[in-house]
């Protein structure tokens, strides 16, 4: 796979913009993904599809499949009591796993991640280095959490007593549904009561903050440095930038 302007006879590329469609005949690419309405362009080898960009993304996964950098459970990991572990799990050195943690099939946990008590990780999820997933967080299947993110930190809850700010216990959870990807350096706070809820297919960029009791609707996109205040309700397929 290669970008249009650099693709040679050994590369596959894609075109989905009118300006590039006019230049197809000049390309040296071995194959070009194009919209279905494109029928000919000199001697170029065209692959006509509904969505060239999506097709190209799927092709890239074939050339660059995700592979864990290690295999099995490291002897240098610390694992607590009543650990329920699926098959084909990879846990790197320096990982800490608390008590009563459940990990599904095909999960990968990179070095130095922290997994608190009573956490659930669904199958084929991947937790990158230095991530902290605190107690009672529920994570679905095929979830990716990138490096240095914190899931389940206390919500920011205080009440004044006239002189000081008295901390309100944060006793809820964070629930992350299937096929969510959390960027690097995110902070997702647990609920005061109930749950902070990241629904199916949500993608967050780096440095995003989701406060306590927030709900982010399915398949929404949250771009870098967005902060969502406590108890806000975000709908489905929303983009915040």
Question: In this predicted model, what pLDDT tens digit does every residue of 56-67 receive, in sequence order?
Answer: 999 999 999 888
Task: Give the C-alpha separation, 180 to 189, whole Å.
Answer: 16
Q: Which residues are catalytic?
A: 212
Rounded to 5°, angle at Cα 129 from 179 and 92: 100
β-partners of residue 49 are 35
Q: Are the C-beta atoms of residues 182 and 204 closer than 8 Å to each other? A: yes
Helix (H) or strand (E) holding 62: helix 52-63
pLDDT of the chain, 241 residues: tens digit per residue: 999 999 999 999 999 988 888 888 888 999 999 999 887 767 889 999 999 999 999 999 999 988 878 899 999 999 999 999 999 999 999 999 999 999 999 999 999 999 999 999 999 999 999 999 999 999 999 999 999 999 999 999 999 999 999 999 999 999 999 999 999 999 999 999 999 999 999 999 999 999 999 999 999 999 999 999 999 999 999 999 9
pTM for the model: 0.91
User: Cα separation of 63 and 2, whole Å?
Assistant: 11
d(CA 195, CA 216) in angstroms, rounded, equals 11
Q: For tokens 């590039």, what's the residue?
A: 20
Identify the burial level of 129 via C-beta atoms within 10 angstroms of its C-beta, where 0-12 means exposed, 13-18 middle and 19 or more buried: middle
Could you tell me if 158 and 177 are in contact, meaning their C-beta atoms sit under 8 angstroms apart? Answer: no
């Amino acid at each position: 796979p290669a970008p249009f302007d650099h693709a040679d006879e050994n590369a596959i590329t894609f075109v989905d913009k009118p300006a590039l469609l006019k230049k197809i005949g000049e390309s040296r690419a071995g194959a070009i993904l194009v919209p279905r309405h494109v029928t000919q362009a000199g001697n170029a080898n065209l692959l006509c599809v509904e969505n060239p960009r999506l097709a190209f993304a799927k092709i890239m996964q074939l050339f660059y499949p995700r592979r864990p950098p290690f295999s099995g459970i490291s002897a240098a990991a610390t694992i607590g009591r009543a650990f329920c572990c699926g098959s084909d799990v990879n846990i790197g050195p320096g990982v800490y796993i608390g008590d009563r943690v459940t990990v599904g099939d095909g999960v990968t946990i990179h070095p130095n991640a922290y997994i608190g008590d009573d956490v659930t990780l669904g199958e084929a999820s991947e937790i990158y280095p230095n991530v902290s997933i605190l107690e009672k967080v529920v994570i679905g299947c095929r979830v990716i959490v990138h490096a240095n993110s914190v899931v389940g930190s206390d919500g920011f809850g205080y009440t004044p007593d006239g002189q000081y700010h008295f901390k309100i216990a944060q006793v809820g959870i964070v629930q992350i549904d299937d096929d969510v990807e959390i960027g690097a350096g995110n902070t997702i706070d647990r609920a005061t009561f109930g749950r902070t809820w990241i629904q199916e297919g949500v993608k967050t960029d780096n440095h995003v903050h989701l406060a306590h009791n927030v709900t982010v609707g399915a398949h929404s996109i949250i771009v870098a440095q967005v902060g969502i205040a406590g108890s806000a309700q975000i709908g489905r397929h929303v983009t915040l930038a």
